[in-house]
Structure 1
């Protein structure tokens, strides 16, 4: 499963240690798996995740300006398109069933955990290079792919079948594989064939692990919204 997402991701994930499992096996995720997650928690999370994805798309747009090859530019631009024109639709459809319009989602007040995570990712891009930004983006992209692959497939009457199906589905798994190719190529181009032996590798590991910790905080936020 994880090998499909590239060599660099696997090394960064391993370097994150137990915090990666804290993220991908969080109580919020297990609630999605069992279907026992309170609906109020899920809807509160979806609203915040919509806002998150707006900033996430901006971060991928920033990545376009950090690229050094046309292939990198096309990959980053395609991700912006996937986020803005496809993934956001899951949130809009689900929240519409609860009486929330897309304008409600776009104008929602950001939770502090959301602010912390999104601004960290954007700062990584503004203050660093493409590798800093990709290392901060990867936990979300590939983490959701891992979670989806582990939780799915589920029966159509599962309360979170739509969410699980999105991230377990072939389209999203292909997004993860393509992000892995982008990350591997960008790292090799900038750090050489043995990036983990270079001084820059430790910085990327810190970026990735910090973003993973912020993912844990995002799930914690989701649980708190269910009370």
Structure 2
């Protein structure tokens, strides 16, 4: 690489938002997420309802853990403005996603007790433990980077497959997907990215470590979809 090319590359990197750099570093994983059979079948309406029910039960339990992680992250910030923003994001997430799931449960013939009694699958358990350990033992920004793929990939999935919804014959699937195309959800993702990007200059020195966390979380996102598609069970 020539000196001029190196300078141009450095200038491009400097002008990029930190979260965009994280996303570029895991483009291979995100491509697989966008094109996973569970995702494509959900958006075109061909996904068997049993697999969606399995997913909803697992995801509801996951979202409870995600909310706990946000509270842990918020407690680690010294800046009360950032702490408040993260808690607001947690509240918005609970209001947007969990409320949506509360409606879904009834439509799927499930009760909250049915969901809570289910043992999280091996993949779900591993993902939740990864988030809890990262958010508890790591810095607040490590925690934010760990939870970002969950939020952001859902927005990207919904945008990528939005046209499929027009011909989707399953109302429950359409209603579920439209939540992630809403301005409210887009704002949640944008606000979370902004908190990280505002510290981008400070975080740049630790890009390799943070991108490793971001990749691991992204891989778990892929594994979660695959787990739901296979309706993964404990062998004992």
TM-score normalized by the length of structure 1: 0.88
1:185 is matched with which residue? 198
Shift of 1:156: 8.7
RMSD: 1.9
Structure 1 CA distance, aligned partners of 2:142 and 2:60?
A: 23
**Contact 1:145 / 1:167 at 8 angstroms: preserved in 2?**
yes
| Mapped pair 1:213 → 2:213 | no
The structure with the largest alpha-carbon Rg is: 2
**Contact 1:151 / 1:168 at 8 angstroms: preserved in 2?**
no
Structure 2 CA distance, aligned partners of 1:151 and 1:157?
A: 11
Shift of 1:32: 1.5
1:65 is matched with which residue? 75
Please give the per-residue CA displacement for 1:177-206, whole angstroms capped at 9, x wherever unaligned. 111111112444x43xxx1xx2x1100000
**Contact 2:43 / 2:161 at 8 angstroms: preserved in 1?**
yes
Deviates more, 1:83-92 or 1:208-217: 83-92
**1:10 aligned to 1, 17, 20, which one?**
20
Structure 2 CA distance, aligned partners of 1:156 and 1:33?
A: 9
- Corresponding residue pairs, total: 215
2:178 is matched with which residue? 165
Structure 2 CA distance, aligned partners of 1:125 and 1:42?
A: 29
- How do residues 197-212 of structure 1 correspond to structure 2 at under 5 angstroms? 198=205, 200-212=206-218
TM-score normalized by the length of structure 2: 0.85
| Mapped pair 1:80 → 2:90 | yes
Unaligned runs of 5+ in 2: 1-15
Shift of 1:104: 1.8
Structure 1 CA distance, aligned partners of 2:19 and 2:48?
A: 32
Provide the secondary structure at the position in 2 that maps to 1:36: coil
Query: Structure 2 vs 1, CA of residues 186 and 65 (structure 1 numbering), >3 Å: closer, same or farther?
Result: farther
Structure 2 CA distance, aligned partners of 1:44 and 1:57?
A: 21
Query: Structure 2 vs 1, CA of residues 156 and 86 (structure 1 numbering), >3 Å: closer, same or farther?
Result: farther
2:11 is matched with which residue? none
| Mapped pair 1:36 → 2:42 | no
Shift of 1:148: 1.4
**Contact 1:50 / 1:105 at 8 angstroms: preserved in 2?**
yes
Provide the secondary structure at the position in 2 that maps to 1:81: helix
Query: Structure 2 vs 1, CA of residues 127 and 164 (structure 1 numbering), >3 Å: closer, same or farther?
Result: same
Deviates more, 1:83-92 or 1:206-215: 83-92
Shift of 1:141: 0.7
- How do residues 26-175 of structure 1 correspond to structure 2 at under 5 angstroms? 26-152=36-162, 154-155=165-166, 158-159=169-170, 160-175=173-188
Shift of 1:103: 2.2
Provide the secondary structure at the position in 2 that maps to 1:168: coil
Structure 2 CA distance, aligned partners of 1:226 and 1:127?
A: 29
